[in-house]
Amino acid sequence: MTSVTKKALPKKRPSYLNPFEGRAKRIRLSGLFLFDPEVSMRLQGITLRGTFIEMGEESLFKGLERASQTGQLSRELKTRLLRRMPRSIASAMSAAFDAPEDGSSALAQMGMWEAHLMAVFCDDNGDQAPWPASAQFILNVERASRNATILCNENQFQAAAEYLANHPLLKQFMSSEVLKGIAYPPDENEMLALRLSMALELWLSLLAIWDLEAKPDRAADELSYLEQLLPSDSSNTKNTVALLFDWLLRTAKIPTPAALLKDKRLGQFSVDPQTLGAWSRGTNFPSTTYRTGIANRLLSTEDAETFERLCAAARQLNFLGYVAQELERMLGAPEGARAEQRKLFGLSLPFGHDTIEAWMRSRYPVWLQFHKKTLGKQNAAPLAAADA
């Protein structure tokens, strides 16, 4: 009698949600490997149109939209825009308007993130306010990567790879395989895959800074906010959104989602069973009002504050999982020798990991320790606020 060896079924893995409101859109990059500031805004449900509407300037937004299409910005639009800009950046914009061809102007020398951060971190008078370490970190990376970005735009890939490999900060975000992939003239899709891989690693590093800013004096053996929500690389298929719900149940001492529905502490607060079920399965991230309404009734004040920080952490980790998912789809599923060949040129998840979960679990503690050493103790800054 011949024995039959059953082929092991592939391990089921977590799936990550579209992190943005509305339909999925292309993830925009700024420079060589930074996610665009607009991506960070969208993660918070903020849009430029919405921002202008809140200021009562929807007509200004529409005018700027039209100007971006025609390439003609009227003096009236310039004046209205400058009046709405913080003083910290308005002067640079004004000088750029007066001499648009001057590549040496302050605004021309700024990256997208520097201009964004200057607009975000200002006081009520429009003057520059102190920046948290996370913002300074992004600025340092943007400025440091400017030369490599220029070299890549000029198709000088070998020189760009050498620059990155020798830079003390930038080389931390990429494996030797990624550097090899950049040096070997990649096609457009391969270059995008390499940039996304580096952007994922950079953003994971940034999350470690936010984590430390949120609770800089945590005990050495205490889990960080994000570590509590890192999805497992085992047979557990729960994503970070489902793990957030599990934390809520565990902290509120509620055994099951069904028991939550009947919990008397909710009072008259209406809980929809379908919404709750989707959250527990990680297939829906409820609105802030809904999440907070439940948490504030079930948790202590301290735990409710922790929950808000965990919500911000879950949103960011889900975003990374979603982008990594898109990177996997872009790369396809080559097998055998072809798969190994692509890995040799960095065409994989960051640092050659086989799964998103293994990458997060392996690399996040590395960045947490790295930034603990470099940051030291900082004044606490809420993680939710650090989404900017």
Answer yes or no: is 93 within a domain.
no
Q: What is the pLDDT of residue 6?
A: 44
Question: What string of H, E and C letters represents the secondary structure of the chain?
Answer: CCCCCCCCCCCCCCCCCCCCCCCCCCCCEECCCEECHHHHHHHCCCCHHHHHHHCCCHHHHHHHHHHHHHCCCCHHHHHHHHHHCCHHHHHHHHHHHHCCCCCCCHHHHCCHHHHHHHHHCECCCCCECCCCHHHHHHHHHHHHCHHHHHHHHCCCHHHHHHHHHHCCCHHHHCCHHHHHHHHCCCCHHHHHHHHHHHHHHHHHHHHHHHHHHHCCCCCCCCCCCHHHHCCCCCCCCCCHHHHHHHHHHHHHCCCCHHHHHCCHHHCCCCCCHHHHHHHHHCCCCCCHHHHHHHHHHHCCHHHHHHHHHHHHHHHHHHHHHHHHHHHHHHHCCCCHHHHHHHHHCCCCCHHHCCCHHHHHHHHHHHHHHHHHHHHCCCCCCCCCHHHC
Whether the CB-CB separation of 121 and 86 falls below 8 Å is answered with no
Model pLDDT for residues 1-16, shown as the tens digit of each residue: 444 444 444 567 889 9
- Name every residue whose Cβ is closer than 8 Å to that of residue 333 and which is 6 or more positions away in sequence: none
Answer yes or no: is 28 within a domain.
no
Higher pLDDT residue, 382 or 260?
A: 260
Answer yes or no: is 29 within a domain.
no
Q: What is the pLDDT of residue 97?
A: 66
Whether the CB-CB separation of 369 and 208 falls below 8 Å is answered with no
Q: What is the pLDDT of residue 248?
A: 96
* Residue 95: band (very low, low, confident or very high) from pLDDT cuts 50, 70, 90: low
- Dmax over CA atoms of the chain, in Å, equals 88
Tokens of 258: 């069904």
- Name every residue whose Cβ is closer than 8 Å to that of residue 297 and which is 6 or more positions away in sequence: 265, 266, 267, 269
Answer yes or no: is 232 within a domain.
yes
**What is the domain range of residue 334?**
131-388
Between 21-30, 35-44, 79-88, 190-199, the lowest mean confidence (pLDDT) is in 79-88
Higher pLDDT residue, 374 or 316?
A: 316
Q: What is the pLDDT of residue 382?
A: 41
Q: How far is Cα 76 from Cα 98, in angstroms, rounded to an integer? A: 14
Which pTM was predicted? 0.85
Looking at every residue in the chain, the average pLDDT score rounds to 83
Answer yes or no: is 293 within a domain.
yes
Model pLDDT for residues 139-192, shown as the tens digit of each residue: 999 999 999 999 999 999 999 999 999 999 999 999 999 999 999 877 888 999
Q: How many domains does the chain have?
A: 1
* Residue 76: band (very low, low, confident or very high) from pLDDT cuts 50, 70, 90: confident
* Residue 106: band (very low, low, confident or very high) from pLDDT cuts 50, 70, 90: low
Q: Mean pLDDT: which of 35-44, 47-56, 167-176, 367-376 is highest?
A: 167-176
Answer yes or no: is 100 within a domain.
no
Q: What is the pLDDT of residue 153?
A: 92
Angle at 360 between CA 11 and CA 338, to 5 degrees: 60
Q: What is the pLDDT of residue 108?
A: 60
Answer yes or no: is 294 within a domain.
yes
Bridge partners for 122 per DSSP: 128
Higher pLDDT residue, 275 or 116?
A: 275
Q: What is the pLDDT of residue 21?
A: 74
Answer yes or no: is 373 within a domain.
yes
Instruction: Identify the CA nearest to 209 among candidates 117, 109, 132.
Output: 132
